[in-house]
Amino acid sequence: MTVNVAVLGAGRIGKVHAKAIDATDGANLVAVVDAFEEAASALAKEHDARVDTIDAIAGAEDVDAVIICTPTDMHADLIEQFARAGKAIFCEKPIDLSIERTKSCLKTVEECDAVLMLGFNRRFDPHFQAVRAAIDADRIGEVEMVQIISRDPGAPPPSYIQKSGGIFRDMTIHDFDMARFLLGEEVTTVYATASVLVDPEIGKLGDYDSAMVVLTTASGKQCSISNSRRATYGYDQRIEVHGSKGAVAAENQRPVAIEVATAEGYVRPPLHDFFMTRYTEAYAAEIAAFVYAIENNVAPHPSGEDGLKALTLAEAALKSVAERRSVGVDEI
Amino acid sequence: MTVNVAVLGAGRIGKVHAKAIDATDGANLVAVVDAFEEAASALAKEHDARVDTIDAIAGAEDVDAVIICTPTDMHADLIEQFARAGKAIFCEKPIDLSIERTKSCLKTVEECDAVLMLGFNRRFDPHFQAVRAAIDADRIGEVEMVQIISRDPGAPPPSYIQKSGGIFRDMTIHDFDMARFLLGEEVTTVYATASVLVDPEIGKLGDYDSAMVVLTTASGKQCSISNSRRATYGYDQRIEVHGSKGAVAAENQRPVAIEVATAEGYVRPPLHDFFMTRYTEAYAAEIAAFVYAIENNVAPHPSGEDGLKALTLAEAALKSVAERRSVGVDEI
Amino acid sequence: MTVNVAVLGAGRIGKVHAKAIDATDGANLVAVVDAFEEAASALAKEHDARVDTIDAIAGAEDVDAVIICTPTDMHADLIEQFARAGKAIFCEKPIDLSIERTKSCLKTVEECDAVLMLGFNRRFDPHFQAVRAAIDADRIGEVEMVQIISRDPGAPPPSYIQKSGGIFRDMTIHDFDMARFLLGEEVTTVYATASVLVDPEIGKLGDYDSAMVVLTTASGKQCSISNSRRATYGYDQRIEVHGSKGAVAAENQRPVAIEVATAEGYVRPPLHDFFMTRYTEAYAAEIAAFVYAIENNVAPHPSGEDGLKALTLAEAALKSVAERRSVGVDEI
Amino acid sequence: MTVNVAVLGAGRIGKVHAKAIDATDGANLVAVVDAFEEAASALAKEHDARVDTIDAIAGAEDVDAVIICTPTDMHADLIEQFARAGKAIFCEKPIDLSIERTKSCLKTVEECDAVLMLGFNRRFDPHFQAVRAAIDADRIGEVEMVQIISRDPGAPPPSYIQKSGGIFRDMTIHDFDMARFLLGEEVTTVYATASVLVDPEIGKLGDYDSAMVVLTTASGKQCSISNSRRATYGYDQRIEVHGSKGAVAAENQRPVAIEVATAEGYVRPPLHDFFMTRYTEAYAAEIAAFVYAIENNVAPHPSGEDGLKALTLAEAALKSVAERRSVGVDEI
């Protein structure tokens, strides 16, 4: 069986996914859509696919699945349209910035019995997967505490911030998903603190650029998340998990692993510059997993529900900052 | 000038300090006190000192300074007695488990214009000092976020827990001091969460064995502390500081630095077993700093005030756990 | 311009190169040859290429370049045939196990003014390239000493050993090339010692499985190479270069970078299992460099001459083992 | 029992050993000798010992053992004198620069049935001892290959070089001993190459500053040693041992273990500045082992024979450089 895929949105992440489809056995890129004709044409040409419209793709018999890489505010509508059209759907996070809209969208997905996978790419990073595998193999015993450090190399421009939904919905949301991936138990309370230390413009827009979050579960497990929009030394992405028998940690990744030793000391190069190079393998693996799920008729993960839960934690974090207290997830 | 010192309390930490005095040029151990005559005799003999009584030492002309290593509940009384006697005082943390008693004790110290240094030994660890030096040398710019991971290799017995004042006053207090040492700005709010994951006996005594704390300052700096009474792989003591220009971190220490590579992978030995081996150099350096302060007639650090401030943060943490909210330090 | 390429030999390394051509902009795989029809068909089909014969490819107008991945004993004849046919040639090392035959082959290449690149893939490893770049950027000053450790995870079967030309021509040859790449000055003397420690079958075939080599240059630079056909912990590939101002080293690579800490210590997973996974990026980069050289009409590196020089060092090493003395390269 | 010790030679290393005696339970420093009265007085005063003469110490009833830290050319005579005087002897390496004199000296030691320990301090480094312990515990199987990298931070002055006996007898001799310590089998052949890359003055004195050595044993084990009088990044002291089941390595040591990350990359501080700080623990441990051997009436290691064997390897290395061939140890 070949899974024929259309990519909706030919921007940076659309290109990454198009390449991943190419590299996945059993998957074939057939169509590309983008509001910018030129972007669509270029990507289509590179992958021997056609340029098409959203509606045509929804009705096309030769399209089995779509990958939604459009701006966030189109996600929910597109998910619903393609759920109704019977296509398998891979959507970049988040489904929507509003929890209500996310819920209504997921209801439609459920009613249509549609296949929906969310783009929490980090779950597919080989290093983080090895962390999860170490836990599953009982190498560290029962999980007790999780530490996540996630720092972007630099702050995005104000125009991005404005549409982003804020640091918790845009950046921390990946860490919320990772926390759930690693804790193995649902989060019940969220505490967050946030400030503006990197770029005052971000503050003017009502957002934050530096945040710490503490999550707890019913059984007393705890997770700490540390976020900043600044890391001069590269894209800082670390997790560590402590259990009753030991701990497991994933180290930072750098493009070249050399060390220069001089009178000034030992110097290693900076980390990857950002997610496109850091998570190359993860992007390929998540698309392969999506194709595998379609081929084998199994439910893909992370699911729409996973998307909703991460968004709920983001909402709780915002409320926590505002009210300076620990917020129960059931309050959201 | 030779500084003549008496050690009050000949237990584990008393022995460490006696050895440190020996190793410090210009310091001389002249007297030892302990409720257990035998312990006092053994330590005195080893260092060519006399066994004496507390009152005799307070009145002895040949004693310039005392090092208080007795049980915690004697600290405040002894500090006051020796402040009045005009001796320089080094006291193990904490001054007292009660903030009120700590304050009254410090008042006496002030009235007597006495020299008082608190035993926050970690400030004297060469690795942590190098972190502080990197900040002072402006290698990372303005400090923004601090991460402290501090995990004991195992839980203490219930008898210890009962007198300890609880995890925040006993264990986290070192991290509170380290946070203040590194943030370079006073903490204004404290959030803490705590649970019992390691030993149910600890829970029965009303204490916790696993905790996470988030501190913030007026300018928006943030500090995360992660504590556990369990670390199968040894005494886990890490700090990292992020600033506007970069970050600096102190790695964990292990007694032997070898790596064995086999088909199972690359294996390095566990960390130090606990504070006595991990902080050997720090214990020696803090006594040398105390002696230096006396010889040069300068105020020693950390001061009694530093002790009070760390204790206040512990108190705020306890309140935060109880009320599930961020607690202002000015509420304590 | 598109460079049309034929792959001669559809075995393990042929597949790697076919994939690399696909991934290289401006290159196109048009034909595949293999003595095993099935292997040729499968590879051709995967890359939309035709199955063809060697002679037809030599005469084909739509073929600009060939990649020779056949057994070693065919290399020299094929290089000569395609040099005469005016095709650009990429050939896996070595050109031939005989120095004489290598020289006559290179003479033909020169007479035909043909483009020939040798497959010393390690020069294209991003980590080793970063080492070279650090030297070029004068970060370590004048090169003085080079250390190369290169250990295979396991010994090949006797059938492979028999045709391999022995450890120096088969395995160390890569390190000889790397030494030349890093020393920046031609080697003048070779000393080698070798023994059979891993597999007695290798000894019965007159070969060795463990070897150490010391190279020197006219100005007194020195290089140490350490080889073994055994490394239980994975494919061990390290280089370090010491210069007048400092040193630079490339660390080993592993597929997943996690660390598990328990009472037994800190464990990291084994290294890559062998060259196919360790040098994935290098294989892609060398083909891209070959295509680039053709497109831009520049001489590719490593050249046929580089192949001859590495082979000469292997020959000198063999002589050194036999005569238990340092052998001048000019003796070969 | 208390072992009363005299230190002969109050220079840099004499001070280190005096301090080690102080720190060793059961050992007592009673006398100090030095040609410079002032040096002897200062050291004696610091340790409550008397200044004395060599002859007086040889005849003193209250002296059980001597530690010889004089210039090398006095070693053999002093060893003989104190062997005859019935004192236990610890002597800094080497016994003498001449193999003949070393042999005659050891003959006297044997005739007197004297206790003699050689100061190959590295055997007592906790990290190298852990390497040896890993081998003994069969964690890496049968030893096959050893790699030793040993680089001094800087070249000594010409005046030192002149009396040193040259790089192999002065510097590599420690590595020869370490090779024997790790190989677990006597060395049978030595190949060495050497050049002058660091300081031309060293060449003018007929010595070298850069050397590589390959040792082999009867069963085919191999050991590589790499030496330089230059290492801008600190005192570089690494060993790794490869066996049939795996490998074990000792990492370099640095006084502070921090890492600073900025846009320029990750920077760790340089290594220890030289042997006094790098081998502090080893110096203390070797004296403790010497005292232990006396107290328990067991033969101390490394022995005079170990000193002779390392010197023989140095001699073979010199001959190898001169004759550009592998030299059999039985030729010396």
C258–B contact, CB cutoff 8 A:
no
By the CB < 8 Å criterion, does C145 face chain D? yes
Question: How deeply is B160 buried, as exposed, middle or buried, from its count of CB atoms within 10 A (0-12, 13-18, 19+)?
Answer: exposed
- Cα dihedral: A156, A161, A165, A171 (round 10): 10
- The CATH code of the domain that includes A140 is 3.30.360.10
Predicted confidence at residue A22, as pLDDT, reads 87
A147 and A95, same domain (yes or no): no
- Radius of gyration from C-alpha coordinates of chain D: 20
The reply to whether residue D263 touches residue A270, judged by beta carbons under 8 angstroms, is yes
Q: Note whether D48 and D88 are same-domain residues.
A: yes
The strands making up A116-118's β-sheet, listed across from edge to edge, are A50-51, A27-33, A3-8, A65-68, A88-91, A116-118
Q: At residue D321, what are phi and psi to the nearest 5 degrees? A: -60, -45
Partner-chain residue, chosen from A233, A261, A263, that has the shortest CB–CB distance to D265? A233
pLDDT digit string (tens) for B220-260?
999 999 999 999 999 999 999 999 999 999 999 999 999 99
Residue C159, H or E segment: helix C158-164
Position A79 scores a pLDDT of 98
Q: Are strands D187-195 and D327-328 parallel, antiparallel or unpaired?
A: antiparallel
Q: C228 — contact with chain D (CB < 8 Å)?
A: yes
Judged by a CB distance cut-off of 8 A, whether residue C150 touches chain D is: no
pLDDT at residue C183 greater than cutoff 90 = yes
Alpha-carbon span A281 to C97, nearest angstrom = 39
d(C-alpha A132, C-alpha A121), whole Å: 14
Q: How far is D195 from chain C (nearest CA, A)?
A: 5
What DSSP state is assigned to residue B155? Answer: P
For residue range C203-251, list pLDDT tens digits in order. Answer: 999 999 999 999 999 999 999 999 999 999 999 999 999 999 999 999 9
- Residue (of A61, A63, A67, A37) closest to A51 by Cα position: A37
Structure tokens at C205: 């075939």
Nearest to A257 among C127, C140, C246 (CB): C127
Mutate to test the interface with B, among A189, A208, A222 (most CBs of B within 10 A): A222
Among C8, C3, C56, C58, CA closest to C32:
C8
Tell me the pLDDT tens digit for each residue of D194-251.
999 999 999 999 999 999 999 999 999 999 999 999 999 999 999 999 999 999 999 9
Collapse the DSSP code of C71 into the 3-class scheme (helix H, G, I; strand E, B; otherwise coil) and give the result.
coil
In whole angstroms, how large is the CA radius of gyration of chain A? 20
* A288 occurs within a structural domain: no
> What are the tokens at C153?
């995870």
Question: Helix crossing, B37-46 with B12-23: angle to 10°?
Answer: 20
**Interchain contact, A233 vs D270, CB within 8 Å:** no
| Candidates B198, B232, B239, partner chain A, best to mutate (most A CBs within 10 A) | B232
Q: Supply the pLDDT for residue C22.
A: 87
The pLDDT > 90 percentage for chain D reads: 98
Could you read off the pLDDT of D134-179 as tens digits, one per residue? 999 999 999 999 999 999 999 999 999 999 999 999 999 999 999 9
**CA pair distance C232, B265, nearest whole angstrom:** 9
Cβ distance of B260 and D251 shorter than 8 Å: no
ipTM for the predicted complex comes to 0.95
Q: Does C269 touch chain A (CB under 8 A)?
A: yes
Which DSSP category does D140 fall into? S
Residue D23 reports pLDDT greater than 90: no
What count of other Cβ atoms lies within 10 Å of the Cβ of residue A302?
Answer: 24
Helical (H) or strand (E) element with C213: strand C210-217
Rounded-to-integer distance, Cα C216 and Cα B137, Å: 44
Mean pLDDT of C44-51: 94
- Chain-centroid distance of CA B47 in Å reads 25
| Structural domains in chain C (count) | 2
DSSP structure string for B202-266: HHHTT--SEEEEEEEETT--EEEEEEES--TTS-EEEEEEEESSEEEEE----S--EEEEETTEE
Residues A33 and A172 in one domain: no
Of B55, B79, B114, which marks where a domain is finished?
A: B114
pTM over 0.90: yes
Q: Are residues C260 and C189 in the same domain?
A: yes
**pLDDT at residue D1 greater than cutoff 90:** no
**Cα separations (Å) of D284 from B232, B278, D16, D125?**
30, 19, 8, 9
* pLDDT for res A327: 98
Tens digits of pLDDT across chain A (332 residues): 799 999 999 999 999 999 999 889 899 999 999 999 999 999 999 999 999 999 999 999 999 999 999 999 999 999 999 999 999 999 999 999 999 999 999 999 999 999 999 999 999 999 999 999 999 999 999 999 999 999 999 999 999 999 999 999 999 999 999 999 999 999 999 999 999 999 999 999 999 999 999 999 999 999 999 999 999 999 999 999 999 999 999 999 999 999 999 999 999 999 999 999 999 999 999 999 999 999 999 999 999 999 999 999 999 999 999 999 999 999 99
pLDDT at A158: 95
Note whether D268 contacts A264, CB cutoff 8 Å.
no
CB contact under 8 A, B264 and C267: yes
* Residue A233 near chain B (CB below 8 Å): yes
Residue D298 lies inside a defined structural domain of this protein: no
Residue C137 included in any domain: yes
Q: What was the pLDDT predicted at B273?
A: 95
pLDDT tens by residue, D268-305: 999 999 999 999 999 999 999 999 999 999 999 999 99
Q: How far apart are CA A76 and CA A90, in angstroms?
A: 12
pLDDT at residue C23 above 90? no
Looking at the structure, tell me whether residues B33 and B76 fall in a common domain. yes
**How do the residues of chain D divide into helix, strand and coil, expressed in percent and rounded to 5?**
40, 25, 30
pLDDT over 80 (residue C1): no
Residues A59 and A84 occupy one common structural domain: yes
Backbone dihedral angles phi then psi of residue A196, each to the nearest 5 degrees: -110, 105
B318 and B178 fall within a common domain? yes
Chain B positions in Cβ-Cβ contact with residue C269 (cut-off 8 Å): 265-266
For the segment C163-179, the average pLDDT, to the nearest whole number, is 97
CA distance D261 to A233: 6
Q: Look at the alpha carbons of B56, B62, B64, B70 in this order and tell me if their dihedral is positive or negative.
A: negative
Residue A172 lies in a domain: yes
| Residue pairs between chains B and C whose CB atoms are closer than 8 Å | 43
CATH of the domain at A79: 3.40.50.720
Strands (E) across B263-326 are located at: 265-268
Instruction: Provide, as residue numbers in chain D, all residues whose Cβ is less than 8 Å from the Cβ of C210.
Output: 144-145, 220, 222
Residue-wise pLDDT for C52-97, tens only, equals 999 999 999 999 999 999 999 999 999 999 999 999 999 999 999 9
Residue contacts between C and D (CB atoms, under 8 Å): 111
Neighbours of chain C (3+ CB pairs under 8 A): A, B, D
Nearest C-alpha in C relative to B235: C263
The answer to whether C95 and C307 are in contact (CB under 8 A) is: yes
Helix (H, G, I), strand (E, B) or coil at C216: strand
| Domain termination residue (choose one: C114, C144, C160) | C114
Determine the pLDDT at residue A123. 97
Residues D195 and D59 in one domain: no
With a CB cutoff of 8 Å and minimum separation 6, the contacts of D207 are D161, D164, D166, D167, D196
Q: D322 at the C interface (CB within 8 A)?
A: no
Same domain, B228 and B190: yes
Residue C8 lies in a domain: yes
> Would residue A165 count as lying in a domain?
yes
Strands (E), chain D: 3-8, 27-33, 50-51, 65-68, 88-91, 116-118, 143-151, 187-195, 210-217, 222-228, 236-243, 246-250, 258-262, 265-268, 327-328
All residues at 6 or more sequence positions from D14 whose CB lies less than 8 Å from its CB, including other chains: D7, D8, D32, D34, D43, D67, D69
Residues B102 and B128 in one domain: no
Which residues contact residue B22 at a Cβ distance below 8 angstroms, ignoring those fewer than 6 apart? B29, B47
- Domain final residue, candidates C95, C114, C133: C114
Residue A75 shares a structural domain with residue A148: no
The 3-state secondary structure of chain A reads CCEEEEEECCCHHHHHHHHHHHHCCCEEEEEEECCCHHHHHHHHHHCCCEECCHHHHHHCCCCCEEEECCCHHHHHHHHHHHHHCCCEEEECCCCCCCHHHHHHHHHHHHHCCCCEEECCHHHHCHHHHHHHHHHHCCCCCCEEEEEEEEECCCCCCHHHHHHHCCHHHHCHHHHHHHHHHHHCCCEEEEEEEEECCCCHHHHHCCCCCEEEEEEEECCCCEEEEEEECCCCCCCEEEEEEEECCEEEEECCCCCCCEEEEECCEEEECCCCCCHHHHCHHHHHHHHHHHHHHHHHCCCCCCCHHHHHHHHHHHHHHHHHHHHCECEEHHHC
Cross-chain CB nearest to B131 (options D255, D258, D263):
D258
- pLDDT of res. D22: 87
Q: Which of D215, D224, D233 to mutate to test the interface with C (most CBs of C within 10 A)?
A: D224
Structure tokens at D239: 């060993």
Instruction: Judge: B268–C264 Cβ closer than 8 Å, yes or no.
Output: no
Substitution target in D266, D271, D272, D273 with the highest count of A β-carbons within 10 Å is D266
Across the range B131-150, mean pLDDT stands at: 98
Give yes or no for a cis peptide into D302 (omega within 30° of 0).
Answer: yes
Nearest to B316 by CA among A220, A324, A327, A318: A324
| Secondary structure string (H, E, C) spanning C13-43 | HHHHHHHHHHHCCCEEEEEEECCCHHHHHHH
Contacts of C248 in chain A (CB under 8 A): 258-261
| Residue B116 host element (H or E) | strand B116-118
Residue A76: which domain range? Answer: 3-114
Between B46 and B197, residue with greater pLDDT: B197
| Residue of D43, D48, D59, D47 lying closest to D8 (CA atoms) | D43
All residues at 6 or more sequence positions from C23 whose CB lies less than 8 Å from its CB, including other chains:
C284, C288
Are B99 and B205 within one domain? Answer: no
Does D35 reside within a domain? yes
CA distance D71 to B43: 40
Q: Which residues in chain C are contacts of B237 at CB distance < 8 A?
A: none
Whether C295 shows a pLDDT value over 80: the answer reads: yes
Relative orientation angle of helices C126-136 and C280-296, to the nearest 10 degrees? 60
Inside any domain, residue A211: yes
